[in-house]
Amino acid sequence: MKKQTLGVLTAGVLGASIAMSVVPLAHASSIDVYQFNTDEEETRYRALIDELRCPKCQNQNLAGSDAPIAQDLKQKTYEMIKDGRSDGEIRQYMFDRYGDFISYKPPVRPSTWILWFFPPLLLVVLILGWVLKAKRGRKPAPAMPHSDNLSRSEEAKLEQILSHHQSTKDQS
């Protein structure tokens, strides 16, 4: 290999190594560090960001999201806790601004009744359907036909079949 090619190859590998070592540093800069006065404030903060959903992300809470909107909402939550707001006031602020979607536990109100009541109602309907189907499946066997509906020849044939069946059963 020529010295010039070897030099270009070495420079490329060195450049790629440096670029790859910077990537983890960029990701590490997204870690939030907030100072709380008490452990209770920090516990409340952690509980709220675990409960609140990122408006941009699919099925991810604020604690697990690095989206810019999630960073803003974490900052707002922190500021509201520092201002002495209650958890209810913070949730209400988020609901007013982002709707019921912001929470994994939306409040029970007419607009969320389907979320709260449809699954248990569906379960009850399915169980009732299953029970009714099971009861229908256990109907008693139909009784032997009454001799009132049979002619004399039919009765004789039936007696012959039954006695033959009984004798076969007794032999085995």
- Choose between 104 and 65: higher pLDDT: 65
Average pLDDT over residues 21-43: 69
In a domain, residue 158? The reply is no
Average pLDDT over residues 23-35: 58
Confidence at residue 33, expressed as pLDDT on a 0 to 100 scale: 77
Predicted confidence band of residue 64 (pLDDT cuts 50, 70, 90): confident
Q: What is the tally of structural domains in the chain?
A: 2
Q: Which domain holds residue 68?
A: 18-105
In a domain, residue 67? The reply is yes
158 pLDDT above the threshold of 50:
yes
Confidence at residue 107, expressed as pLDDT on a 0 to 100 scale: 73
Q: Are 37 and 89 within one domain?
A: yes
In a domain, residue 74? The reply is yes
Confidence at residue 99, expressed as pLDDT on a 0 to 100 scale: 83
Angle between helix 87-98 and helix 39-51 axes, rounded to 10 deg: 30
d(Cα 2, Cα 157) in Å, to the nearest integer? 108
123 pLDDT above the threshold of 90:
yes
* Of 105, 126, 150, the domain-final residue: 105
Q: Are 87 and 115 within one domain?
A: no
Average pLDDT over residues 27-51: 80
Confidence at residue 80, expressed as pLDDT on a 0 to 100 scale: 94
Predicted confidence band of residue 7 (pLDDT cuts 50, 70, 90): low
Q: Are 73 and 31 within one domain?
A: yes
Confidence at residue 29, expressed as pLDDT on a 0 to 100 scale: 43
28 pLDDT above the threshold of 50:
no
Is-above-0.75 flag for pTM? Answer: no
In a domain, residue 95? The reply is yes
Average pLDDT over residues 16-24: 62
| 50, 63 contact by CB (below 8 A) | yes
- The helix/strand/coil state of 105 is coil
In a domain, residue 160? The reply is no
DSSP codes joined into one string, 122-160: HHHHHHHHHHHHHHHHTPPPPPPPPGGGS-HHHHHHHHH
